[in-house]
Amino acid sequence: MDKYKRIVFFTGAGISVESGIPTYRGTGGVWKDYNYQDFACQEAFLRNPEKVWDFHDQRRALIKSCKPNQAHKIIAKIQHQQPKTHIITQNIDGLHQRAGASRVIELHGSIWRLRSPENGLIVEDFETPLKERKCGKNAWWRPDIIWFGDSLNQETINTALTALEKCDLLISIGTSAVVYPAAQMPEIAINNGADTIEINPETTPISHLFQRCLRDSASQALSSLFPEFAGD
């Protein structure tokens, strides 16, 4: 740990599997059972906002019932010891923050935030189910997440790129490396000379770029790498 001053944890859906949250594309993933065109795109929201909110209320209830796992806790402890550690996540579940982490860059937004399409107002709301789905007479709150077909927030991208350019250790955890532009982001740290580790039970399209690959669960791999942070 003394060697590294600017660590970046780059996390995907796989880190939250141990908490009981299914991945989107892996075995048992959400999109195996649901068509995103009916539940996770702006067109679906415009067609039937009630249906889309019913789906997201189910997701919010599931996520709220889950707790941060050992991997989330280890990352939060490391960040507390190394203040320049950043977390870049594709997840919308907020489990990093619930584990005590800060400086979490949420590439795909958060299911616990709402955005008004009328004025861009963003608010946090942890009620499950959401009590008020409308933010105006004819306007609906929209989950502040990146749906299929949406563009990532440019300010969020810039913050993530800066962290990746400066990091000296990149640990990628539980990401499928098939969702762009997020899938390309680890290459920035790699090209800037950072040491690199991939943690994923399965090989990904960019596994060959990492110096070390651990085919294990997030909690087991991080406990092995950082045993001093593994206790409760």
pLDDT band at 25 (very low <50, low <70, confident <90, very high): low
User: Distance between CA 201 and CA 215 in Å, rounded?
Assistant: 4
Mean of the pLDDT values across residues 214-228? 96
B/e letters for 61-81, b = 16+ CB within 10 Å, e = fewer, are: eebbeeebbbbbbbbbbbbee
Q: What is the pLDDT of residue 117?
A: 87
Structure confidence by residue, pLDDT tens digits, 27-72: 455 555 668 788 889 999 999 999 999 999 999 999 999 999 999 9
Q: Is 142 left (phi over 0), alpha (psi -120 to 50) or beta?
A: beta
Token look-up 């909110």 returns 53
| Active-site option among 56, 86, 108, 208 | 108
Domains of the chain and any CATH numbers: 1-20+68-108+152-232 (3.40.50.1220), 22-65+110-145 (3.30.1600.10)
Q: Is the per-residue pLDDT at 133 higher than 60?
A: yes
Percent of the chain with pLDDT over 90: 81
B/e letters for 191-225, b = 16+ CB within 10 Å, e = fewer, are: eeebbbbbbbbeebebeebbeebbeebbbbbbbeb
pLDDT band at 143 (very low <50, low <70, confident <90, very high): very high
Q: What is the pLDDT of residue 227?
A: 95
Q: Which amino acid is at 113?
A: R
Token look-up 């399209």 returns 205
User: Distance between CA 70 and CA 82 in Å, rounded?
Assistant: 18
Q: What is the pLDDT of residue 2?
A: 78
What global pTM score does this model have? 0.93
Q: What is the pLDDT of residue 182?
A: 80
Residue 144, SS3?
A: strand
Active site residue 208: no
For all residues of the chain together, what is the average pLDDT?
92
Q: What is the pLDDT of residue 181?
A: 80
Q: What is the pLDDT of residue 155?
A: 96
Q: What is the pLDDT of residue 136?
A: 83
Q: Is the per-residue pLDDT at 208 higher than 90?
A: yes
